Structure 1
Amino acid sequence: MEDGRIPDASITASSVYNNDQGLFGPTRARLGNPDHDGAWCRAGTVDTDPWIQVDLGSNATITGVITQLPPGRYYWVEEFKVAFSDDGQEWTDVTDCGSSTPMKFPANFDENNHVTTTFPKAFQARFLRILPTQWKAACCMRFEVLGCTINE
């Protein structure tokens, strides 16, 4: 995502804070976004099950994600779940091997660090969805998808 190969239209979210696409829209979720203040932020308490997702355009092998919070801000996602899909309609949760319970992954705990999360098992999917479950002050984040494209 950071290098721009994923088009802006391929990054969508459940909601956007104050409907401000310029500062809080899904495209601001790119890791390393040069906009100092920008990040994806959900629409406050009206969105009780926030998510942000990326359409990779075709199936890819996904191994993990890197999360980052908005620089200079004091709010961020602290914990999240992940789901994936081939069609953007039916979703499969990332689980620990042998379990059916969705895993929760730790995200950021301060404004200075990126957190790299490697999934227990790589998977193939076209869509990846991050579902924040806990945050500090507000649900805002940036992220990068780790993996590789599949040559078909």
Structure 2
Amino acid sequence: MARVNGAFLDVLLLLLLLSVQTLPLVAAGDPHNCDAPLASSLPQLSFSSSSQLSSSHGPGFARLNRRDGAGGWTPLVSNKYQWLQIDLGERMEVTAVATQGGYGSSDWVTSYLLMFSDGGRNWKQYHQEESISGFPGNTNADSVVQYSLQPSFHTRFLRFLPLTWNPKGRIGMRIEVYGCSYSDGNLPPVNSIMNFTLGSLLDDWHWHSVLIELQNMHVNFTLDKYMHHVHVNKESSYLDLNFEVVRHCGI
């Protein structure tokens, strides 16, 4: 049986390499693909703010690299009580943010806080690597300043709170949020089944059948007649194959 257990490990290590191209399962510690722009495709009603200088300076014009309206969001009064909010529509994993100033203007934010909320009422401040200070912003109107968020977090609502801005202008912001659906890193849909046939896995120079069955959060690995079952936590975006095999098979 020890030789079979050793074969399981060999099979799973090889399948781990194949899964990079075929499955949304990745080795623990490897970054997963979660960097899609989330705000650019949202309707204007998904953006809101504390105030706006005019109808052409409204929050719906705050998309990154856009020039419509006045070219960005500007509040009625530039002070530390202003905010720009995005409703992502559902709970998403957020991995990065980016900012610009108002297009072709002297209006940009030089530092800001990032707040998040699941329901849009109770807000928490995002702290970048335990720092209590805000994010450095822009030094001109049109350059993009992007920050990767470590760690990432899950939320539906985001607020950008300007702290400081160009002293010769006003608060002006265009923004983007990057990430993915909260479930994108989980296992494939129900009844998703894949089959592999691999050979020479038991040092006997014979071919052996390998079956991987993915159903919701349940994974079955079958080598010939030997089956190994793994249940993946719904909150997890990773499946550590090495750990699961060692823990369950005692290799």
The normalised TM-score by structure 2 is 0.54
- Residue number in structure 1 paired with 2:178: 146
What are the residue-to-residue correspondences of 1:63-74 with 2, within 5 Å? 63-74=95-106
Aligned sequence identity (%): 33
Q: Which structure has the highest strand share of the two?
A: 1
Per-residue CA distance 1:68-122 (angstroms, 9 max, x = gap): 11222112111100010000000110114456x3x31011102341000122310
SS of the aligned residue for 2:60 comes to helix
TM superposition shift of 1:34: 3.1
CA apart distance, 1:48: 4.2
Cα separation, 1, equivalents of 2:121 and 2:88: 15
Counterpart-to-counterpart distance in 2, 1:43 and 1:36: 15
Tell me the equivalent position of 1:30: 63
Match of 1:14 among 35, 44, 50: 50
Which structure has the highest helix share of the two? 2
Question: Do the aligned residues in 2 keep the contact of 1:68 with 1:142 (CA within 8 Å)?
Answer: yes
Task: Between the two structures, name the one with larger relative contact order (CA 8 Å, sep ≥ 6).
Answer: 1
The one of 137, 144, 150 equivalent to 1:120 is: 150
Q: Which residue of 2 aligns with 1:135?
A: 165
Aligned partners of 2:63 and 2:103: how far apart in 1? 13
CA RMSD of aligned residues (A): 1.8
Residues 43-54 of structure 1: matches in 2 within 5 Å? 43-45=76-78, 48-54=80-86
CA distance in 2, matches of 1:114, 1:97: 22
Q: How many aligned residue pairs are there? A: 144
- Gaps in structure 1 of 5+ consecutive residues: none
- One-letter amino acid of the counterpart of residue 181, structure 2: T
Within 5 A, what are the aligned runs for 1:77-116?
Answer: 77-98=109-130, 101=132, 103-116=133-146
CA distance in 1, matches of 2:80, 2:134: 17
